Structure 1
Amino acid sequence: MSGESNDWSGERVLVVGLRMTGSAVARSFLSRGAEVIVVEERPGALGYAELRDELLAAGAQIIESSEESEWRSLVAGVDLVVPSPGVPPSHAVMIAALNQGVPVRGDIDLAVGESSVPVVAVTGTNGKTTVTTLIAAMLEANGVRAGAAGNIGWAVMDAQQRAFDVLVVEVSSFQLHSTTETFSPSVSVLLNIAEDHTDWHGSFGEYSQDKARVFRRQGPGDLLVYNSDDPIVASLATEAPGRTLSFSIDPSATSGYRIHRGELVTPDGDRIARISDLPLQAPHDLANALAASAAALNSGANIESVHAALLSFARLHHRAEPIGENQGVAFINDSKATNPHATITAVGGYESCVLIAGGRNKGIDLSILRPLSKKLRGVVAIGECAAEIEAAFEGATPTRVATTMKDAVRFAAEMSKPGDVVLLSPACASFDWYQSYEERGDSFVSEVEAFIAGDGQ
């Protein structure tokens, strides 16, 4: 292999998965002279044909399916395996690479290792996209060319080739799993850790350790921004090899980025913004604002640009997104809530809800949702794990099962009363009914709009 060299002539690279990430990785290696083989096990997704044709024209070999027995021979003939995010450690290609001693590296590992500009890496169970977007906006408000990349915006391998001053990268636990010693961001941000993706990682402990890889290879001069209100995060932060900086929304906090007398403040007590001026003021919104401020102010932003970005920031799609109102009932799209922790946070922001929840469980005990009953007028269970949702609320909250999103909206509206919120916050993945949480959210929005247009009929 050629290490971090730009010359990959004579090397063979196996890319697993052809979506945004896989195509960016393939293009990057093709441009540097490598022979690239791309395997896509699920061809036919929207936009796939265009990506396939582009890479074929550039000289890549495309294999549109692969039997488990074929992975060993494929891996044996390459110098590097680059799995797309979501390819689990139990996948045949990962096992074959491990057994045959073929290096496995993810896209963020490659890009960060080769980056000539500072990298801010953001991870956590929830809030990653919001904080990544906020940091980039804060930097841009000060004239810093910041590229938001990773799970949002640019594919990180594409962003790394652009003329950015700073890369702000959203990093999932899947991506962190495949990092090596080259993954050393200048600033890392660890927002929170709650049970998620247990089916993929094998255990909560493994999931937590993969999250901690965001800072494991940092140097003494690098910075970890961490949530001191999260006991798991705070414990892991003691192991950071570089500098650390905390943020907290606990009223008793006296250090780090915190809240003081109704204001977000720096460790020195300098005001960042009045909470009353912010468009988003829920507790998790304030935590996100503090985390982003800490990272941005240590990456090229100033107080003025941070303040301006916070005051103009709008809630992202599919994240507690107001859709409309009918007969005094508000409809909220929180489809991005793909784990119970996110749903618990979402429900906590309202006085009385009818919750639409369910989908494909990720190996998590959904009974942890049961304490939400005190805020729920009812629950509509959907998707593969509808029975698990029912069981979680049995005897505590009235529950109905819907087999379509249209029925889910109708049932939830029927269970609600004026002043309530109908909240889609599934606590589960979307892949039983939909290709993505975005598609699920769009389906909910369409059904709500049709319901309201029909005057609740």
Structure 2
Amino acid sequence: MKALVYGLAVAGEATVRAMQSRGIDVLAADDTSTPERLALAGDLGVDLEVAPDDTALERLLGAVDLVVPAPGVPEGHRLFAAATAREVDVVSEIELAYRWEQERPGGPRPMLAVTGTDGKTTTTLLAVEMLAAAGVRSVAAGNTEVPLVTALDLDLDAFVVECTSFRLAWTEQFRGESAAWLNLAPDHLNWHRSYATYGDAKNRIFANQRPSDAAIGFADDADVMRYLAAAPARHVTFAADGADYRVVDGVLTGPTGQLAPVSALSRRLPHDITNGLAASALVLEAGLASTDAVAAALGTFTGPPHRIELVGEIDGVEYYNDSKATTPHAAATAIAAFDHVVLIAGGRNKDLDLSPMVAQPHRIRAVVAIGDAADLIADLFAGVAPIHRASTMPDAVDVAGAAARSGDVVLLSPGCASYDWYSGYEARGDDFRRIVQALAAGIPPAPHEETATP
């Protein structure tokens, strides 16, 4: 067999290495060329075709049996029409890994799957912690630092797979014995052709399940529930109220009884509770953990960085890093968690309607608009709260601090991508945290090389 890996970043590199270790010949292509990618291709021993034209693409497809696109290759890329015309199979990294796992000597290990517009990483990590408390060795794989093709080679009992729409779109067999869909809101419309194809891609998380599997959906999300209604597996719901997994008299509760008091959670914001319910359903419905293990993990889990992460307090004002909120839906969730917010928002808009960010205007003390979308943010909040602008992150933190009062929250929840000022949301959040912690220590923050200059 010979395969074409299109896109040579993290997932692409892992896929090439995994294929080569299984004796598959690999060709590589990418729309962009950097010294690092060219060096990586050399290290992998593959020729890298850069920005192939139609003729070169036809030549590549004519030489392979399989195409594995990197997550960043958008749905409308000409690669897919060309592959379809040539009847070349297109699969994502998680689909490829799933197929290999089915052929594992001794049988496949269980896979749990998580998708949603927001909350995937937190819920995935929490499920891993619940499994660990139950003595089940697992890893957060897929849209994480560990691609699923890499995780297959680890000594594990199960996998918890964070599934983006990018990866789900190109699946044919991939299945989780237990699969949770957290929410659905417009996102990645610069990747998908439409909101409908985005939702349909997410729906692949349910499509291949069996009647004995568990399809878990958020009862408060009408779109998720519409897809759940057609899922072939057992239907399970979660929400703060009116669902199979819910809160009863201040206690997280499942179909078999109590799980843990809300007061036992290390953080108890509304989405922390629903994420906890979703993760509980994921592991319990799969039969991989006990309620005791679930309760233990709920009591110790602190959550990942960059998602409403408290990074410091200055003069009675708490500063939260929510850089992972790259959609207006995620930012709106963060805003709803606090009573008085000075919001730092903006970045590079992903062709999304930003209006959900202003759904609760009574919570907004002031807004600091940053990045390419600063004008959009300023227009959105005009008449709602005082608007300030900042051209660097240090400026944004200074302006936000000046606008805040004791007891307020300064919240970096951009609602936009970070690629105008930074290499990713992690770099943006790290910079924000660094600045806040320096100011809290009375040290002027040093300039950061990724931050835009005026």
Under a length normalisation based on structure 1, what TM-score does the superposition of the two structures give?
0.91
For each residue in 1:228-285, what CA deviation from the matched residue of structure 2 results, as whole angstroms up to 9, or x when unmatched? 12111111111001112111202xx2x51111111011113x1110111111211111
Judge conservation of contact 1:156–1:169 (CA < 8 Å) in 2. yes
Which of 65-74 and 323-332 deviates more? Answer: 65-74
Q: Which amino acid aligns with 1:295?
A: L
Summarize the Cα distance change of 1:446–1:42 in structure 2 as closer, same or farther, 3 Å threshold.
farther
Which of 69-78 and 388-397 deviates more? Answer: 69-78
**Residue of structure 2 equivalent to 1:83:** 69
- SS in structure 2 opposite 1:199? coil
- SS in structure 2 opposite 1:201? coil
Taking the aligned partners of 1:85 and 1:248, their CA distance within structure 2 comes to 30
**Residue of structure 2 equivalent to 1:100:** 86
Matches within 5 A, 1:200-215: 200-215=191-206
Structure 1: 5+ residue runs without aligned partners?
A: 1-10
Matches within 5 A, 1:158-169: 158-169=150-161
Aligned residues: 438
Q: CA RMSD in A?
A: 1.9
Taking the aligned partners of 2:33 and 2:129, their CA distance within structure 1 comes to 35
Structure 2: 5+ residue runs without aligned partners?
A: 102-107, 446-454
Summarize the Cα distance change of 1:95–1:451 in structure 2 as closer, same or farther, 3 Å threshold.
farther
Taking the aligned partners of 2:442 and 2:78, their CA distance within structure 1 comes to 50
Taking the aligned partners of 1:24 and 1:389, their CA distance within structure 2 comes to 38
**Residue of structure 2 equivalent to 1:40:** 30
Taking the aligned partners of 1:425 and 1:67, their CA distance within structure 2 comes to 39
- SS in structure 2 opposite 1:37? strand
Cα deviation, residue 388, structure 1 = 0.9
Q: Say if 2:325 is the partner of 1:334.
A: no
Cα deviation, residue 54, structure 1 = 3.4
Taking the aligned partners of 2:373 and 2:87, their CA distance within structure 1 comes to 38
Q: Say if 2:241 is the partner of 1:277.
A: no
Summarize the Cα distance change of 1:69–1:334 in structure 2 as closer, same or farther, 3 Å threshold.
farther
Taking the aligned partners of 2:83 and 2:421, their CA distance within structure 1 comes to 32
Q: Which amino acid aligns with 1:236?
A: Y
Cα deviation, residue 140, structure 1 = 1.4
Which of 161-170 and 443-452 deviates more? Answer: 443-452
Judge conservation of contact 2:207–2:232 (CA < 8 Å) in 1. yes
Alignment match of 1:365 (pick from 347, 353, 363) = 353
- SS in structure 2 opposite 1:246? strand
Percent identical pairs in the alignment equals 42
Judge conservation of contact 1:75–1:97 (CA < 8 Å) in 2. yes
Judge conservation of contact 2:236–2:244 (CA < 8 Å) in 1. yes
Cα deviation, residue 51, structure 1 = 4.1
Cα deviation, residue 339, structure 1 = 0.5
Q: Say if 2:219 is the partner of 1:247.
A: no
Taking the aligned partners of 1:178 and 1:339, their CA distance within structure 2 comes to 23
**Residue of structure 1 equivalent to 2:43:** 54
Judge conservation of contact 2:264–2:298 (CA < 8 Å) in 1. no
Judge conservation of contact 2:342–2:409 (CA < 8 Å) in 1. yes
**Residue of structure 2 equivalent to 1:178:** 170
Judge conservation of contact 1:119–1:167 (CA < 8 Å) in 2. yes
For each residue in 1:61-99, what CA deviation from the matched residue of structure 2 results, as whole angstroms up to 9, or x when unmatched? 333554566333322322111011121112232232223
Under a length normalisation based on structure 2, what TM-score does the superposition of the two structures give?
0.92
For each residue in 1:383-420, what CA deviation from the matched residue of structure 2 results, as whole angstroms up to 9, or x when unmatched? 11111111111122211222211211111112112111
Cα deviation, residue 32, structure 1 = 2.1
For each residue in 1:337-361, what CA deviation from the matched residue of structure 2 results, as whole angstroms up to 9, or x when unmatched? 0101111110111111111111111
**Residue of structure 2 equivalent to 1:286:** 273
**Residue of structure 2 equivalent to 1:261:** 249
Q: Which amino acid aligns with 1:145?
A: R
Taking the aligned partners of 2:93 and 2:444, their CA distance within structure 1 comes to 47
For each residue in 1:29-80, what CA deviation from the matched residue of structure 2 results, as whole angstroms up to 9, or x when unmatched? 11222221122334448x7577444312xxx333355456633332232211
Judge conservation of contact 1:410–1:451 (CA < 8 Å) in 2. no
Q: Which amino acid aligns with 1:303?
A: T
**Residue of structure 2 equivalent to 1:355:** 343
- SS in structure 1 opposite 2:360? helix
Taking the aligned partners of 1:455 and 1:183, their CA distance within structure 2 comes to 51
Judge conservation of contact 2:348–2:416 (CA < 8 Å) in 1. yes
Q: Which amino acid aligns with 2:310?
A: P
- SS in structure 1 opposite 2:190? helix
Summarize the Cα distance change of 1:389–1:361 in structure 2 as closer, same or farther, 3 Å threshold.
same
Taking the aligned partners of 1:49 and 1:444, their CA distance within structure 2 comes to 32
**Residue of structure 2 equivalent to 1:17:** 7
Q: Say if 2:140 is the partner of 1:148.
A: yes
Cα deviation, residue 434, structure 1 = 1.4
Alignment match of 2:100 (pick from 106, 111, 114) = 114
Taking the aligned partners of 1:406 and 1:199, their CA distance within structure 2 comes to 29
**Residue of structure 1 equivalent to 2:363:** 375
Q: Which amino acid aligns with 2:58?
A: R
